[in-house]
Structure 1
Amino acid sequence: MNVQIYYEDFVINDSRTTTGRTITEADIVFHAGHTGDFYPHHMDEEWCKTQPFKKRIAHGTLIFSVGVGLTAGVINDVAMTYGYDRLRFIKPVFINDTIKATVTIKDKRDHKKPGYGIVTEQVEVHNQHKELVMVFEHLLLVQKKSADG
Protein backbone atom coordinates (compact mmCIF):
# COMPACT_ATOMS: atom_id res chain seq x y z
CA MET A 1 0.00 0.00 0.00
CA ASN A 2 1.37 3.42 -0.95
CA VAL A 3 0.79 6.47 1.26
CA GLN A 4 2.10 10.00 1.57
CA ILE A 5 3.14 10.85 5.12
CA TYR A 6 4.96 14.17 5.11
CA TYR A 7 7.48 15.42 7.66
CA GLU A 8 4.85 17.58 9.35
CA ASP A 9 2.54 14.56 9.79
CA PHE A 10 4.94 12.60 12.01
CA VAL A 11 4.12 12.97 15.72
CA ILE A 12 6.76 12.50 18.43
CA ASN A 13 6.04 9.42 20.62
CA ASP A 14 3.55 7.88 18.17
CA SER A 15 4.23 4.16 18.03
CA ARG A 16 3.14 0.98 16.31
CA THR A 17 3.90 -2.71 16.78
CA THR A 18 4.39 -5.14 13.92
CA THR A 19 3.20 -8.67 13.48
CA GLY A 20 5.50 -11.49 14.57
CA ARG A 21 8.02 -13.56 12.67
CA THR A 22 9.44 -16.88 13.88
CA ILE A 23 13.16 -17.36 13.23
CA THR A 24 13.86 -20.81 11.78
CA GLU A 25 16.92 -22.93 11.24
CA ALA A 26 16.49 -22.31 7.50
CA ASP A 27 16.72 -18.55 8.13
CA ILE A 28 20.06 -19.04 9.87
CA VAL A 29 21.46 -21.37 7.20
CA PHE A 30 20.38 -19.08 4.35
CA HIS A 31 21.79 -16.03 6.11
CA ALA A 32 25.11 -17.80 6.66
CA GLY A 33 25.22 -18.66 2.96
CA HIS A 34 24.38 -15.11 1.89
CA THR A 35 26.91 -13.45 4.18
CA GLY A 36 29.66 -16.06 4.50
CA ASP A 37 29.27 -15.93 8.31
CA PHE A 38 29.56 -19.61 9.27
CA TYR A 39 30.83 -18.97 12.80
CA PRO A 40 30.13 -21.89 15.14
CA HIS A 41 27.83 -19.69 17.28
CA HIS A 42 25.29 -20.04 14.47
CA MET A 43 26.17 -23.34 12.81
CA ASP A 44 27.66 -25.84 15.30
CA GLU A 45 25.14 -27.20 17.82
CA GLU A 46 27.71 -29.37 19.60
CA TRP A 47 30.22 -26.56 20.03
CA CYS A 48 27.46 -24.27 21.30
CA LYS A 49 26.69 -26.76 24.09
CA THR A 50 30.07 -25.75 25.56
CA GLN A 51 29.20 -22.03 25.44
CA PRO A 52 27.15 -19.84 27.80
CA PHE A 53 23.87 -19.99 25.81
CA LYS A 54 24.14 -23.79 25.29
CA LYS A 55 22.55 -23.65 21.82
CA ARG A 56 22.93 -21.92 18.47
CA ILE A 57 22.05 -18.24 18.19
CA ALA A 58 20.78 -16.31 15.19
CA HIS A 59 23.13 -13.86 13.52
CA GLY A 60 22.65 -10.32 14.80
CA THR A 61 22.60 -9.13 11.20
CA LEU A 62 19.81 -11.61 10.44
CA ILE A 63 17.70 -10.27 13.29
CA PHE A 64 18.44 -6.71 12.16
CA SER A 65 17.34 -7.55 8.61
CA VAL A 66 14.16 -9.28 9.75
CA GLY A 67 13.45 -6.49 12.26
CA VAL A 68 13.71 -3.87 9.51
CA GLY A 69 11.55 -5.99 7.23
CA LEU A 70 8.85 -6.27 9.88
CA THR A 71 8.54 -2.48 9.97
CA ALA A 72 8.12 -2.16 6.19
CA GLY A 73 4.36 -2.65 5.91
CA VAL A 74 3.64 0.61 4.09
CA ILE A 75 5.42 2.39 1.26
CA ASN A 76 5.69 6.11 1.97
CA ASP A 77 6.08 7.83 -1.41
CA VAL A 78 7.59 10.96 0.19
CA ALA A 79 10.19 9.31 2.45
CA MET A 80 13.26 7.12 2.12
CA THR A 81 15.70 5.47 4.48
CA TYR A 82 18.61 7.77 5.30
CA GLY A 83 20.42 5.27 7.51
CA TYR A 84 20.53 3.45 10.82
CA ASP A 85 22.22 4.46 14.07
CA ARG A 86 22.85 3.08 17.54
CA LEU A 87 22.33 -0.60 16.70
CA ARG A 88 22.65 -2.81 19.77
CA PHE A 89 22.21 -6.58 20.19
CA ILE A 90 20.79 -6.86 23.71
CA LYS A 91 19.95 -10.58 23.99
CA PRO A 92 20.40 -13.57 21.72
CA VAL A 93 17.64 -14.87 19.47
CA PHE A 94 17.36 -18.63 19.15
CA ILE A 95 15.84 -20.97 16.57
CA ASN A 96 12.01 -20.91 16.96
CA ASP A 97 11.95 -17.56 18.78
CA THR A 98 9.29 -15.19 17.47
CA ILE A 99 10.21 -11.53 17.22
CA LYS A 100 8.10 -8.37 16.85
CA ALA A 101 9.20 -4.77 16.38
CA THR A 102 7.85 -1.63 17.99
CA VAL A 103 8.52 1.61 16.14
CA THR A 104 8.34 4.92 18.02
CA ILE A 105 8.85 8.38 16.53
CA LYS A 106 11.63 9.87 18.67
CA ASP A 107 12.85 13.00 16.90
CA LYS A 108 12.35 15.35 13.97
CA ARG A 109 14.84 17.87 12.64
CA ASP A 110 15.46 19.90 9.53
CA HIS A 111 17.79 18.57 6.88
CA LYS A 112 20.29 20.67 4.90
CA LYS A 113 18.43 19.77 1.71
CA PRO A 114 15.65 22.35 1.34
CA GLY A 115 12.15 20.93 1.63
CA TYR A 116 13.22 17.87 3.66
CA GLY A 117 13.55 16.82 7.27
CA ILE A 118 14.93 13.86 9.17
CA VAL A 119 12.55 11.71 11.23
CA THR A 120 14.15 9.35 13.75
CA GLU A 121 12.28 6.17 14.57
CA GLN A 122 13.43 4.09 17.52
CA VAL A 123 12.94 0.42 16.71
CA GLU A 124 12.80 -2.09 19.55
CA VAL A 125 12.72 -5.79 18.74
CA HIS A 126 11.30 -8.16 21.36
CA ASN A 127 11.03 -11.93 21.52
CA GLN A 128 7.93 -13.93 22.44
CA HIS A 129 8.77 -13.47 26.15
CA LYS A 130 8.60 -9.67 25.68
CA GLU A 131 12.36 -9.46 26.27
CA LEU A 132 14.21 -6.72 24.39
CA VAL A 133 16.65 -8.40 22.00
CA MET A 134 17.67 -5.50 19.75
CA VAL A 135 17.32 -1.74 19.50
CA PHE A 136 18.31 0.71 16.78
CA GLU A 137 17.37 4.04 15.26
CA HIS A 138 15.99 4.27 11.74
CA LEU A 139 16.54 7.65 10.06
CA LEU A 140 14.09 8.73 7.39
CA LEU A 141 14.62 11.55 4.91
CA VAL A 142 11.09 12.93 4.55
CA GLN A 143 9.70 15.52 2.18
CA LYS A 144 7.98 18.53 3.75
CA LYS A 145 4.59 19.75 2.57
CA SER A 146 6.21 23.04 1.67
CA ALA A 147 9.80 24.25 1.41
CA ASP A 148 9.06 26.58 4.35
CA GLY A 149 7.68 23.69 6.53
Structure 2
Amino acid sequence: MTSEMFFEDFILGTERETVGRTITETDVVLHAGQTGDFYPHHMDAEWCKTQPFGQRMAHGTLVFSVAVGMTAGAINPRAMSYGYDRLRFVRPVFLNDTIHVRVFIRELRDDAKRPAHGIVVEGLEVKNQRGETVLVAEHLLLVERKLTRV
Protein backbone atom coordinates (compact mmCIF):
# COMPACT_ATOMS: atom_id res chain seq x y z
CA MET A 1 0.00 0.00 0.00
CA THR A 2 1.35 3.45 -0.93
CA SER A 3 0.42 6.76 0.67
CA GLU A 4 2.19 9.74 -0.84
CA MET A 5 2.61 12.68 1.56
CA PHE A 6 4.91 15.65 1.18
CA PHE A 7 6.26 17.58 4.18
CA GLU A 8 3.53 20.21 3.78
CA ASP A 9 0.82 17.54 4.04
CA PHE A 10 1.66 16.62 7.65
CA ILE A 11 -0.44 18.30 10.35
CA LEU A 12 0.90 18.96 13.83
CA GLY A 13 -1.00 16.96 16.46
CA THR A 14 -2.46 14.39 14.06
CA GLU A 15 -2.46 10.98 15.69
CA ARG A 16 -3.14 7.34 15.00
CA GLU A 17 -3.16 4.17 17.05
CA THR A 18 -2.19 0.63 16.13
CA VAL A 19 -3.97 -2.58 16.96
CA GLY A 20 -2.55 -4.69 19.78
CA ARG A 21 0.09 -7.40 19.68
CA THR A 22 0.85 -9.86 22.45
CA ILE A 23 4.52 -10.42 23.31
CA THR A 24 5.05 -14.18 23.57
CA GLU A 25 7.71 -16.52 24.87
CA THR A 26 8.60 -17.27 21.25
CA ASP A 27 9.26 -13.58 20.62
CA VAL A 28 11.61 -13.42 23.61
CA VAL A 29 13.50 -16.62 22.71
CA LEU A 30 13.93 -15.59 19.07
CA HIS A 31 15.11 -12.12 20.06
CA ALA A 32 17.63 -13.58 22.51
CA GLY A 33 18.97 -15.82 19.75
CA GLN A 34 19.21 -12.99 17.25
CA THR A 35 20.92 -10.56 19.62
CA GLY A 36 22.85 -12.84 21.97
CA ASP A 37 21.11 -11.24 24.96
CA PHE A 38 20.44 -14.24 27.19
CA TYR A 39 20.38 -12.28 30.46
CA PRO A 40 18.37 -14.02 33.19
CA HIS A 41 15.86 -11.13 33.26
CA HIS A 42 14.53 -12.53 29.99
CA MET A 43 15.39 -16.24 30.13
CA ASP A 44 15.41 -17.56 33.72
CA ALA A 45 11.93 -17.79 35.25
CA GLU A 46 13.18 -19.16 38.57
CA TRP A 47 15.81 -16.45 39.03
CA CYS A 48 13.24 -13.78 38.14
CA LYS A 49 11.01 -15.00 40.99
CA THR A 50 13.73 -13.74 43.36
CA GLN A 51 13.81 -10.28 41.77
CA PRO A 52 11.58 -7.22 42.38
CA PHE A 53 9.36 -7.78 39.30
CA GLY A 54 8.94 -11.49 40.08
CA GLN A 55 8.74 -12.63 36.47
CA ARG A 56 10.57 -12.58 33.14
CA MET A 57 10.40 -9.47 31.03
CA ALA A 58 10.79 -8.88 27.32
CA HIS A 59 13.95 -7.22 26.04
CA GLY A 60 13.52 -3.47 25.66
CA THR A 61 14.97 -3.75 22.17
CA LEU A 62 12.37 -6.41 21.34
CA VAL A 63 9.53 -4.16 22.49
CA PHE A 64 11.01 -1.27 20.48
CA SER A 65 11.39 -3.41 17.35
CA VAL A 66 7.87 -4.81 17.56
CA ALA A 67 6.41 -1.35 18.21
CA VAL A 68 8.23 0.15 15.23
CA GLY A 69 6.97 -2.68 13.04
CA MET A 70 3.43 -2.07 14.25
CA THR A 71 3.61 1.58 13.14
CA ALA A 72 4.90 0.75 9.66
CA GLY A 73 1.85 0.88 7.46
CA ALA A 74 1.65 2.56 4.10
CA ILE A 75 4.84 3.20 2.15
CA ASN A 76 5.42 6.91 1.55
CA PRO A 77 7.81 7.33 -1.42
CA ARG A 78 8.38 10.95 -0.31
CA ALA A 79 9.75 10.03 3.13
CA MET A 80 12.34 7.86 4.82
CA SER A 81 13.19 7.10 8.41
CA TYR A 82 15.97 9.37 9.66
CA GLY A 83 16.30 7.62 13.03
CA TYR A 84 14.96 7.62 16.56
CA ASP A 85 15.66 9.99 19.45
CA ARG A 86 14.79 10.07 23.14
CA LEU A 87 14.12 6.33 23.43
CA ARG A 88 13.17 5.28 26.97
CA PHE A 89 12.04 1.97 28.46
CA VAL A 90 9.54 3.36 30.96
CA ARG A 91 8.13 0.09 32.39
CA PRO A 92 8.84 -3.57 31.81
CA VAL A 93 6.81 -5.61 29.35
CA PHE A 94 6.19 -9.12 30.64
CA LEU A 95 5.54 -12.26 28.63
CA ASN A 96 1.92 -12.30 27.44
CA ASP A 97 1.49 -8.53 27.80
CA THR A 98 -0.28 -6.95 24.83
CA ILE A 99 1.11 -3.69 23.50
CA HIS A 100 -0.23 -1.08 21.12
CA VAL A 101 1.29 2.17 19.87
CA ARG A 102 -0.01 5.72 19.77
CA VAL A 103 1.77 7.82 17.14
CA PHE A 104 1.35 11.59 16.91
CA ILE A 105 2.96 14.37 14.91
CA ARG A 106 5.00 16.20 17.55
CA GLU A 107 7.06 18.62 15.47
CA LEU A 108 7.59 19.84 11.91
CA ARG A 109 10.93 21.51 11.24
CA ASP A 110 13.27 22.59 8.48
CA ASP A 111 16.32 20.55 7.57
CA ALA A 112 19.30 22.92 7.38
CA LYS A 113 21.32 20.46 5.26
CA ARG A 114 18.57 19.66 2.76
CA PRO A 115 16.33 22.57 1.78
CA ALA A 116 14.27 20.26 -0.43
CA HIS A 117 13.22 18.27 2.67
CA GLY A 118 11.77 18.80 6.12
CA ILE A 119 11.90 16.77 9.31
CA VAL A 120 8.68 15.31 10.70
CA VAL A 121 9.01 14.22 14.32
CA GLU A 122 6.55 11.52 15.34
CA GLY A 123 6.05 10.88 19.03
CA LEU A 124 5.63 7.18 19.86
CA GLU A 125 3.97 5.98 23.04
CA VAL A 126 3.84 2.23 23.54
CA LYS A 127 1.19 1.14 26.04
CA ASN A 128 0.34 -2.21 27.59
CA GLN A 129 -3.11 -3.75 28.04
CA ARG A 130 -3.59 -1.74 31.25
CA GLY A 131 -2.98 1.55 29.41
CA GLU A 132 0.39 2.04 31.11
CA THR A 133 3.15 3.63 29.03
CA VAL A 134 6.00 1.15 28.65
CA LEU A 135 8.17 2.85 26.02
CA VAL A 136 8.48 6.30 24.48
CA ALA A 137 10.55 7.52 21.55
CA GLU A 138 10.66 10.10 18.80
CA HIS A 139 10.78 8.91 15.19
CA LEU A 140 12.38 11.35 12.77
CA LEU A 141 11.24 11.25 9.16
CA LEU A 142 13.08 13.02 6.36
CA VAL A 143 10.27 14.13 4.03
CA GLU A 144 10.44 15.70 0.59
CA ARG A 145 8.86 19.14 0.22
CA LYS A 146 6.43 20.08 -2.56
CA LEU A 147 8.41 23.25 -3.05
CA THR A 148 12.06 23.66 -2.15
CA ARG A 149 12.65 26.16 0.66
CA VAL A 150 14.87 29.09 -0.31
Q: TM-score range by the shorter chain?
A: over 0.9
| Cα deviation, residue 148, structure 1 | 3.1
Q: RMSD between aligned alpha carbons?
A: 0.9
Which segments of structure 1 move beyond 3 Å, counting only runs of 4 or more?
A: none
Aligned pairs, number: 149
Pair 1:97-2:97 in alignment? yes
Question: Aligned partners of 1:32, 1:10: CA distance in 2, in Å?
Answer: 37
Matched AA of 1:56:
R
TM-score (norm. length: structure 2): 0.97
Aligned twin of 1:69:
69
SS of the aligned residue for 2:114 comes to: coil
Question: Aligned partners of 1:99, 1:148: CA distance in 2, in Å?
Answer: 39
1:1-149 alignment to 2 at 5 Å? 1-111=1-111, 112-148=113-149
Unmatched 5+ residue regions in structure 2? none
SS of the aligned residue for 2:134 comes to: strand
TM-score (norm. length: structure 1): 0.98
Matched AA of 2:127:
H
Matched AA of 2:129:
Q
Matched AA of 1:115:
A
Question: Aligned partners of 1:131, 1:16: CA distance in 2, in Å?
Answer: 17
| Cα deviation, residue 10, structure 1 | 0.5
SS of the aligned residue for 1:8 comes to: helix
- CA deviation string 1:94-126 (max 9, x = no partner): 111100000010001111212100000000000
SS of the aligned residue for 2:66 comes to: helix
Question: Aligned partners of 2:73, 2:100: CA distance in 1, in Å?
Answer: 13
| Cα deviation, residue 56, structure 1 | 0.2
Question: Aligned partners of 2:17, 2:72: CA distance in 1, in Å?
Answer: 11
Question: Aligned partners of 2:99, 2:139: CA distance in 1, in Å?
Answer: 18
| Cα deviation, residue 81, structure 1 | 0.3
| Cα deviation, residue 58, structure 1 | 0.1
| Cα deviation, residue 70, structure 1 | 0.6
| Cα deviation, residue 73, structure 1 | 1.2
Name the % identity.
62
SS of the aligned residue for 1:82 comes to: strand
| Cα deviation, residue 53, structure 1 | 0.5
